[in-house]
Amino acid sequence: MTPWTDRAGRFSLLKTTVLAGLCLPALLLALAAAQGPLVPAGSPSLLGARPITEAIHETGDWAIRFLFISLAITPLRRIANWPKLIMVRRMVGLAALFYALAHLFLYTWDMKFDVVRVALEIVQRFYLTIGFVALLGLVALGSTSTDAAIRRLGRNWGRLHRIVYVIGVLAAFHFFIQSKADVYEPTLMAGLFFLLMLYRLAHWQGFELKSPWVLIGLACLAGLATAATEYAWYGLATGIPPGRVLAANLQFAFSIRPSWWVLATGLAVALIAYARPYFGKPDAASGRRRTARVAA
């Protein structure tokens, strides 16, 4: 089975499109790096004045984004009744691992490949320690993502892969700490992680994720949690008065705060659930309920 075919060996437009999207950030980064030496003296590079540092940040950002996208696949598959979406979950997870490894490689490059110095930095700097532990977790998941590993581990495979939630927390925390004062995107990513975890918690508690009202409630909770996280971070980690940050969430003159984007994302998912019965095939459970009503 290739990355662009399904298990039956047929060409899959979904997998091919996702594969192209996963490769695009790396391609753009490579093109920007190749453009660097061609820039005339005094002209700005696409990667800025410190291209390796910018590349380190870009690969790390995409690693977290793809990690969270992989976590979004299962709830979105349930909500949108799109079973085929599961075909790309492994691919997206491996992309997160690839970008995380590239993140570490570029950091080592920036340190002139002084492995001892890199190791000392990881041990001495807390945010690097957290990031490295998250990377080790991704390596463990990636190395056991094959069909052979799934068969060999049996039920233990599912237990092992639940550490992805811990990895998500560590990755978000690493993102927060290394961002220092400007935590707009880390807050946004943390809020989306809250939303994904609320979907899973609701499913585990038996709530119907196909209900738009349940999804609207979860969207509101995730938005509030995002605003509270931003408020707490500025209150604990910076000198910026957190009250100003909280007030900024109610003003739209300059920017839309992450909490509103998280709320909007959750409401968009609720809209998908609302529109789902009007498009495509009904799910098996709905079909059984309708059959039971007709028989009665």
pLDDT grade for 277, boundaries at 50, 70 and 90? confident
Supply φ then ψ for residue 257, to 5 degrees: -70, 160
Between 243 and 159, the higher pLDDT residue: 159
Is 0.75 surpassed by the pTM of this model? Answer: yes
Give me the residue spans of the domains in the chain.
180-277
Q: For residues 142 and 98, is the Cβ–Cβ distance under 8 A?
A: no
Q: Residue 245: name the closest of 59, 89, 258 by CA.
A: 258
- pLDDT one-digit tens code per residue, 55-66: 999 999 999 999
- pLDDT one-digit tens code per residue, 30-40: 888 887 654 44
- pLDDT one-digit tens code per residue, 244-254: 767 777 776 66
Task: Name the DSSP letter for residue 50.
Answer: S
Most trustworthy range by pLDDT among 171-180, 215-224, 273-282: 215-224
pLDDT, averaged across the chain: 85
Query: Would you state the pLDDT for residue 295?
Result: 39
Residue 189 predicted with pLDDT over 60? yes
Query: Would you state the pLDDT for residue 48?
Result: 64
The mean pLDDT value for 68-94 works out to: 92
Cα 8 from Cα 41, distance rounded (Å): 54
- pLDDT one-digit tens code per residue, 217-231: 999 999 999 988 888
Q: Residue 256: name the closest of 236, 227, 216, 296 by CA.
A: 227
Cα 93 from Cα 64, distance rounded (Å): 10
Between 278 and 92, the higher pLDDT residue: 92
Joined tokens for residue 271: 């809209």
- pLDDT one-digit tens code per residue, 122-141: 999 999 999 999 999 999 99
